[in-house]
Amino acid sequence: MEKLIAGDIYYLMYLGRAFEYKAKEHYMTGDISGFLHLDIGQEALSVAAMKAFEKGDVFTTYREHIMAIARGMEPKYVMAELFGKASGVSGGKGGSMHLFDPSHFFYGGDAIVGGQIPNAVGCAYARKYQGNLEGVMVVFGDGATNGGAFFESLNIAATHKLPILFLCENNEYAIGTNIKRAAPFKEQYKKAEPYMLTKAIDGMKADEVYSAVKEAQSLIEKGHGPIFIEAYTCRFEGHSMSDANLYRSSQEMKHCKARDPLPYFKEKMLNSFNFSQEEVEALEKKANECVDEAVDFAANAKEPPLEALYEHVFYEELNNVVS
């Protein structure tokens, strides 16, 4: 990893966490409503995977604010979406769980567990058909690996040797159900092993995530076909704001927080990438300012007009196309 990329990753991880804490704060005040799934604790995976997979297409889940920002969406437009404003990335119609930006080849933001996986497989088919092997990355949690959509997708991706990276974020919990109570083993890559190359990594270490995803994309680009990476992570918060996180003991949370990806990578920044303390602090300051600006922007942005209710139900009005 180059110094420049390391700096970028640290900045985005720090920004991501600050963004999530602000979102939490504004959920408490009522500016943000609905379901809000915070990514605090999993910033290394969300940022480093996006930075490593810089080409291609991305499909992901409802816990995607940081991924969307790392993919290139401006934090102010993401925050505005959380606030339900017209200038939000989805015009205030999607909310926290549905961030879309085709200009960054980022297609949500899917809130049906596992539902985005077949879409990513279809997109990978399209890309291969078009002669483009940059690859599609689909991110999903360990909970999704117990569903039919996941198994169908492994089968089809392997049958057609599609350019796709399955990235499983295994934080051990499907809302409040531990993976050990929902699957016969903790390591979900075992489910993909008969179909494709698999790799298990520590998802709390940005450098490890970055190099694994980078290597996978490079293999996919050379025509290797599908690859499965399982990243072990730990979310610091409940599943969503409505989850009090009562199913995890204080001891478990202590272990979890000892794996905090931010201090880990800060140490790398200082000792492996030769950043000075001042340089790191400057990045942190810049990130905090960016998040403050995002909140200001979102708070002052306009609500969508009532007419927006009826817009984009259909793309074409009847009669627009002559067959």
What interhelical angle do 3-28 and 277-300 show, nearest 10? 40
Shortest Cβ 161–other proteins spacing (Å): 12
Nearer to other proteins, 49 or 157 (CB): 157
Q: Is residue 60 a contact point for other proteins (CB under 8 A)?
A: no
Region near other proteins per CB under 8 A, out of 38-46, 67-75, 107-115, 270-278? 107-115
Q: Is residue 125 a contact point for other proteins (CB under 8 A)?
A: yes
Q: Is residue 91 a contact point for other proteins (CB under 8 A)?
A: yes
Q: Is residue 57 a contact point for other proteins (CB under 8 A)?
A: yes
Reported residue count of the chain is 323
Among 19, 53, 59, 232, binds other proteins (CB under 8 A): 59
Q: Is residue 323 a contact point for other proteins (CB under 8 A)?
A: yes
Among 34, 72, 126, 252, binds other proteins (CB under 8 A): 126
What is the C-alpha R_g of the chain?
A: 20
Q: Is residue 82 a contact point for other proteins (CB under 8 A)?
A: no
Region near other proteins per CB under 8 A, out of 5-13, 22-30, 106-114, 279-287? 106-114
CB 188 within 8 A of CB 142: yes
| Residues 190, 147: Cα–Cα separation, whole Å | 15
3-state secondary structure of 194: coil
Q: Is residue 29 a contact point for other proteins (CB under 8 A)?
A: no
Q: Is residue 313 a contact point for other proteins (CB under 8 A)?
A: yes
Shortest Cβ 254–other proteins spacing (Å): 38
Region near other proteins per CB under 8 A, out of 11-19, 67-75, 117-125, 293-301? 117-125
Q: Is residue 306 a contact point for other proteins (CB under 8 A)?
A: no
On the question of a cis peptide bond just before residue 109, with omega within 30 degrees of 0, the verdict is: yes
Region near other proteins per CB under 8 A, out of 155-163, 174-182, 187-195, 239-247? 155-163
Buried b (16+ CB within 10 A) or exposed e, 225-264: bbbbbbbbbbbbbbbbbeeeeeebeeeeeeebeebbbbeb
Cα 283–chain centre separation? 22
Q: Is residue 318 a contact point for other proteins (CB under 8 A)?
A: yes
CB 39 within 8 A of CB 65: yes
Among 42, 60, 96, 153, binds other proteins (CB under 8 A): 153
Cα end-to-end distance, the chain, whole Å: 53
# chain residues binding other proteins, by CB under 8 A: 48
Region near other proteins per CB under 8 A, out of 9-17, 87-95, 169-177, 258-266? 87-95
Q: Is residue 108 a contact point for other proteins (CB under 8 A)?
A: yes
How many CB atoms sit inside 10 A of residue 144's CB? 24
Give phi and psi for 321, each to the nearest 5: -115, 135
Among 119, 145, 170, 171, binds other proteins (CB under 8 A): 119
Widest CA span of the chain, in angstroms? 66
Region near other proteins per CB under 8 A, out of 125-133, 254-262, 274-282, 292-300? 125-133
Q: Is residue 316 a contact point for other proteins (CB under 8 A)?
A: yes
Residue type, 129: Y
Q: How far is CA 75 from CA 23, 168, 194, 301, in A?
A: 11, 25, 40, 14
Give phi and psi for 176, each to the nearest 5: -110, 5
Binding residues vs other proteins (CB under 8 A): 57, 59, 90-94, 98, 100-102, 107-110, 112, 115, 117-127, 129-130, 148-149, 152-153, 155-156, 159, 311-316, 318-319, 321-323
